[in-house]
């Protein structure tokens, strides 16, 4: 990061800040103050303030968004939105971290923010008692706010579209925690003018508003009379008919995942949706990525009767072969066709998937009536994990045995990502102990390799780095797994992991490759090319005489990633008339490419 930056200009940076604030407020009351997890978070928060300009860092708070430099930030299930909801429930309107704040002030702030008994005016009072001068918290006076935000003083006629949109957007975001206020907004003619506008940006912002509300729409419908409720439902139905598939999928996603007593908004939104658009919504739900199985399964259960399943699958099959359709690539339709064909065979409810859902569900517990928790260490067992590690860190008598028992018990409880979180925590806290825990590593690598096809880029990167940091411990296991792995996606992940280790393991990899079957040798050739260590040249050169052409092909490609001596081998190969013409051409091409570098 630069020494000074505008935090409001980078959503990723703001997400990281929200994560750090939530984690710090939730951990300072549990772990020792000198725990590395606590001290690193305190240092990061001080850095955020120091890098944010002369005045430090200022965050405004609404019911579901943070305001930085006059701009709203946050979205469905983002960390920024989760932090905003947390602070709003604590009746906080604004936080200002000055650049000169000290460690004691940060610690006192975190303890105060994490105290469940404190909210509103009690928070700045407590900070004053603790002598905190450089962290200023402004509390939210809800009574004054709601009396100020009567509908006739909020969104009203007049002004241009942008001004009207901003008034409604700001008013609705501030009122988002109050179903009655939202009901008043949904009942007003002025509110719906935004969707009926010819301004595409205005309509997009309108969809953003409703997506931000999510399940609050259903709660708000119970606050209005039946005739008004029917009128709002009709407007939603017309909206669903007029929206494109992508925006309709966004709204469906947030409504279908909301824990609301009824589904009036969702049912109204889908009332006039025809077959093609219904398929488009399915495509949008798939294109959102992680969690697509659960989203699609819920949607199909509600809107696709069993007798229509095959007809729907047939349409998707046609679209799959036509390239991009409705803005979604053929891969989306290919995945969707496979899912629908297998949905009755319970293929997507195996143990691994159930464990993932259970882990997600444990985090999505209610909080202060909002219906959505923060997603940060909500599982109390994660707190317990850190306490056991903290005991060992503090050298408490008997902590060694307690920690080992905890590790053994967690082997049977955690899924792959959860186990990786656990290992990373132990690496940070008790690094010496982790070197003796091969079963932990076998568990996380086995499970995530099994799920390799659906892993996010972030999880893959973390797994690769985990292996690199512990390469001597996991090398033999990974080579053995590569030998046994039958799926292409699994082999590719293992090859990526091994290719990102350091050159220190090269002699061991060559030794294991010498005695393996051809398919292991082929993959090990790819790994050696990825390591880019010139010492692999003699072994790769020997593979050019291998009887299997696929081994020879990978050896040529890997030699093309090494240095001068490897280039000499390629040139010699390309000029030897005893070699196959096609392979000589490939060798010459790689040698030429190396010359140009």
How high is the pLDDT of residue 329? 80
| Residues 497, 502, 508: CA angle, nearest 5 degrees | 85
Mean pLDDT in residue range 304-316: 74
User: Considering the domain boundaries, does residue 329 fall inside one?
Assistant: yes
How far apart CA 230 and CA 580 sit, in angstroms, is 76
Mean pLDDT in residue range 73-80: 76
3-state DSSP percent of the chain in helix, strand and coil, to 5: 70, 5, 25
Q: Residue 456 — left, alpha, or beta (φ > 0 → left; ψ -120 to 50 → alpha)?
A: beta
Token digits of residue 461: 């990167």
The SS3 assignment for 543 reads helix
**Domain limit, last residue, from 302, 320, 345:** 345
The per-residue DSSP string of 296-331 comes to HHHHHHHH--GGGHHHHHHHHHHHHTTSSBTTB-HH
> Which pLDDT band holds residue 478 (cuts at 50, 70, 90)?
very high
Mean pLDDT in residue range 556-560: 91
Token digits of residue 570: 């390629």
pLDDT at 546 over 50: yes
**Residue 304 and residue 236 in one domain:** no
Mean pLDDT in residue range 497-524: 90
How high is the pLDDT of residue 70? 62
Q: Is the pTM of this model over 0.75?
A: no
Where do runs of H (alpha helix) occur along 51-136?
Answer: 79-89, 103-114, 122-129
pLDDT at 369 over 50: no
User: Considering the domain boundaries, does residue 376 fall inside one?
Assistant: no
How far apart CA 559 and CA 566 sit, in angstroms, is 5
> Which pLDDT band holds residue 156 (cuts at 50, 70, 90)?
very low
How high is the pLDDT of residue 377? 34
CB 480 within 8 A of CB 516: no
> Which pLDDT band holds residue 123 (cuts at 50, 70, 90)?
very high
How high is the pLDDT of residue 208? 73
Mean pLDDT in residue range 435-456: 84
Mean pLDDT in residue range 35-44: 84
Q: How far apart are the first and last CA of the chain?
A: 31
How high is the pLDDT of residue 190? 73
User: Considering the domain boundaries, does residue 416 fall inside one?
Assistant: no
**Residue 155 and residue 240 in one domain:** yes
The SS3 assignment for 35 reads coil
Token digits of residue 262: 């009824």
- The residue whose two tokens read 């009379």 is 225
Instruction: Classify residue 137 by its DSSP letter.
Output: E
Token digits of residue 248: 């309709």
User: Considering the domain boundaries, does residue 377 fall inside one?
Assistant: no
pLDDT at 357 over 70: no
**Residue 560 and residue 532 in one domain:** yes
> Which pLDDT band holds residue 142 (cuts at 50, 70, 90)?
very low
- List residues bridging with 67 in a β-sheet: 60, 72
CB 96 within 8 A of CB 136: yes
Mean pLDDT in residue range 126-148: 72
Determine how many CB atoms are found less than 10 A away from the CB of residue 374: 23
User: Considering the domain boundaries, does residue 488 fall inside one?
Assistant: no
**Residue 155 and residue 133 in one domain:** no
Mean pLDDT estimate for the chain? 77
Instruction: Classify residue 63 by its DSSP letter.
Output: S
pLDDT at 566 over 70: yes
How far apart CA 453 and CA 189 sit, in angstroms, is 48
How far apart CA 274 and CA 237 sit, in angstroms, is 12
pLDDT at 528 over 80: yes
Determine how many CB atoms are found less than 10 A away from the CB of residue 576: 12
Region of poorest pLDDT, from 28-42, 234-248, 497-511? 28-42
pLDDT at 383 over 80: no
pLDDT at 363 over 90: no
What is the share, in percent, of the chain residues with pLDDT greater than 90? 13
**Residue 160 and residue 216 in one domain:** yes
Region of poorest pLDDT, from 268-272, 306-310, 375-379? 375-379
> Which pLDDT band holds residue 470 (cuts at 50, 70, 90)?
very high
- The residue whose two tokens read 């105060």 is 112
**Residue 228 and residue 329 in one domain:** no
User: Considering the domain boundaries, does residue 577 fall inside one?
Assistant: yes
CB 203 within 8 A of CB 211: no
How high is the pLDDT of residue 153? 38
Mean pLDDT in residue range 497-503: 93
How high is the pLDDT of residue 379? 54
Alpha carbon separation from 389 to 37, 149, 430, 512 (Å, rounded): 11, 49, 7, 36
How high is the pLDDT of residue 355? 42
pLDDT at 139 over 60: yes
Instruction: Classify residue 7 by its DSSP letter.
Output: G
How high is the pLDDT of residue 288? 79
Mean pLDDT in residue range 211-223: 74
Could you tell me whether strands 92-97 and 57-61 are parallel, antiparallel, or unpaired per DSSP bridges? antiparallel
**Residue 91 and residue 208 in one domain:** no
How far apart CA 29 and CA 113 sit, in angstroms, is 10
**Residue 122 and residue 20 in one domain:** yes
**Residue 201 and residue 300 in one domain:** no
Backbone angles phi, psi at 448, to 5 degrees: -75, -30
**Residue 28 and residue 90 in one domain:** yes
Q: In the chain, how many domains are there?
A: 4
Q: Which helix (H) or strand (E) holds 553?
A: helix 549-559
User: Considering the domain boundaries, does residue 260 fall inside one?
Assistant: yes
563 vs 528 pLDDT, higher one = 528
How far apart CA 509 and CA 502 sit, in angstroms, is 11
Rank 210-219, 429-438, 523-532 by mean pLDDT and report only the highest.
523-532
Mean pLDDT in residue range 482-492: 88
How high is the pLDDT of residue 39? 85
pLDDT at 439 over 90: no
How high is the pLDDT of residue 10? 67
**Residue 189 and residue 281 in one domain:** no
How high is the pLDDT of residue 45? 85
CATH code for position 534:
1.25.10.10
Mean pLDDT in residue range 3-25: 72
User: Considering the domain boundaries, does residue 205 fall inside one?
Assistant: yes
**Domain limit, last residue, from 345, 365, 399:** 345
How high is the pLDDT of residue 220? 77
How high is the pLDDT of residue 504? 92
pLDDT at 33 over 80: no
- The residue whose two tokens read 């036509």 is 322
Rank 153-167, 351-365, 553-567 by mean pLDDT and report only the highest.
553-567
pLDDT at 346 over 50: no
Token digits of residue 577: 């008339």
Q: CB neighbours of 350 closer than 8 A, spacing ≥ 6?
A: none
- The residue whose two tokens read 């920690």 is 403
CB 363 within 8 A of CB 351: no
CB 594 within 8 A of CB 567: yes
What is the share, in percent, of the chain residues with pLDDT greater than 70? 79
Question: Which residue, 227, 140, 220, 236, is CA-closest to 181?
Answer: 220
> Which pLDDT band holds residue 306 (cuts at 50, 70, 90)?
low
What residue numbers bound the domain in which 96 lies?
Answer: 7-140
In SS3 terms, 324-350 reads as CECCECHHHHHHHHHHHHHHHHCHHHC
Could you tell me whether strands 71-73 and 92-97 are parallel, antiparallel, or unpaired per DSSP bridges? unpaired
CB 388 within 8 A of CB 400: no
Q: Which helix (H) or strand (E) holds 59?
A: strand 57-61
pLDDT tens, residue by residue, 166-204: 555 555 555 445 667 777 778 877 777 766 666 677 677
**Residue 14 and residue 129 in one domain:** yes
254 vs 347 pLDDT, higher one = 254
How high is the pLDDT of residue 368? 29
**Domain limit, last residue, from 234, 264, 294:** 264
49 vs 530 pLDDT, higher one = 530
CB 174 within 8 A of CB 61: no
């Amino acid at each position: 990061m630069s020494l000074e930056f505008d935090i409001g200009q980078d959503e990723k940076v703001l997400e990281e800040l929200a994560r750090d604030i939530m984690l710090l407020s939730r951990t300072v009351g549990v772990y020792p103050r000198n725990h590395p997890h606590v001290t690193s978070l305190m240092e990061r928060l001080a850095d955020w303030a120091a890098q944010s300009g002369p005045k430090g860092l200022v965050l405004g708070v609404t019911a579901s968004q943070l305001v930085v430099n006059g701009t709203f930030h946050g979205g469905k299930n983002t960390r920024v939105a989760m932090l905003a909801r947390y602070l709003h429930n604590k009746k906080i309107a604004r936080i200002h971290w000055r650049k000169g704040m000290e460690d004691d002030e940060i610690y006192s702030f975190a303890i105060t923010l994490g105290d469940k008994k404190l909210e509103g005016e009690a928070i700045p009072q407590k900070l004053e008692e603790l002598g905190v001068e450089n962290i200023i918290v402004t509390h939210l006076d809800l009574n004054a706010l709601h009396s100020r935000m009567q509908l006739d003083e909020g969104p009203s006629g007049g002004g241009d579209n942008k001004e009207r949109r901003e008034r409604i957007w700001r008013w609705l975001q501030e009122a988002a925690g109050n179903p009655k206020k939202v009901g008043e907004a949904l009942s007003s003619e002025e509110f719906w003018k935004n969707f009926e506008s010819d301004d595409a940006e205005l309509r997009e912002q309108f969809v953003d508003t409703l997506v931000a509300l999510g399940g609050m729409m259903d709660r708000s419908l119970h606050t209005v009379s039946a005739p008004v409720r029917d009128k709002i439902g009709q407007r939603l139905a017309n909206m669903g008919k007029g929206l494109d598939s992508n925006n309709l999928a966004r709204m469906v996603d947030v409504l279908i995942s909301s824990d609301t007593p009824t589904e009036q908004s969702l049912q109204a939104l889908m009332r006039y949706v025809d077959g093609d658009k219904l398929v488009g919504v399915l495509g949008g739900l798939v294109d959102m990525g992680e969690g697509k199985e659960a989203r699609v399964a819920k949607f199909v259960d509600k809107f696709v009767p069993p007798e229509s399943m095959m007809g729907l699958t047939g349409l998707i099959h046609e679209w799959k072969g036509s390239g991009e359709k409705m803005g979604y690539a053929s891969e989306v339709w290919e995945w969707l066709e496979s899912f629908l064909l297998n949905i009755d065979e319970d293929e997507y409810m195996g143990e691994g998937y159930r464990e993932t859902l259970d882990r997600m569900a444990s985090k999505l517990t209610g909080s202060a009536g909002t219906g959505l928790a923060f997603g940060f260490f909500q599982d109390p067992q994660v707190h317990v994990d850190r306490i056991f590690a903290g005991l060992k860190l503090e050298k408490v008598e008997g902590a060694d045995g307690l920690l080992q028992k905890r590790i053994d018990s967690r082997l049977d409880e955690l899924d792959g990502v959860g186990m990786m979180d656990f290992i990373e925590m132990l690496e940070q806290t008790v690094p010496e102990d982790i070197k003796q825990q091969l079963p932990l590593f076998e568990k996380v690598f086995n499970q995530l390799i099994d799920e390799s096809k659906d892993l996010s880029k972030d999880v893959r990167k973390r797994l690769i780095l985990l292996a690199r940091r512990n390469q001597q411990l996991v090398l033999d296991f990974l080579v053995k797994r590569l030998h046994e792995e039958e799926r292409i996606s699994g082999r590719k992940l293992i090859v990526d992991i091994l290719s990102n280790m350091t050159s220190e393991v090269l002699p061991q990899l060559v030794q294991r490759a010498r005695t393996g079957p051809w398919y292991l040798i082929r993959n090990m050739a790819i790994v050696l090319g990825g390591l880019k260590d010139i010492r692999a040249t003699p072994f790769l050169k020997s593979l050019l005489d291998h009887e299997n052409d696929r081994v020879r092909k990978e050896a040529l490609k890997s030699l093309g990633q090494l240095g001068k001596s490897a280039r000499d081998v390629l040139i010699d190969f390309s000029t030897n008339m005893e070699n196959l013409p096609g392979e000589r051409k490939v060798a010459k091409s790689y040698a030429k490419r190396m010359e140009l570098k």
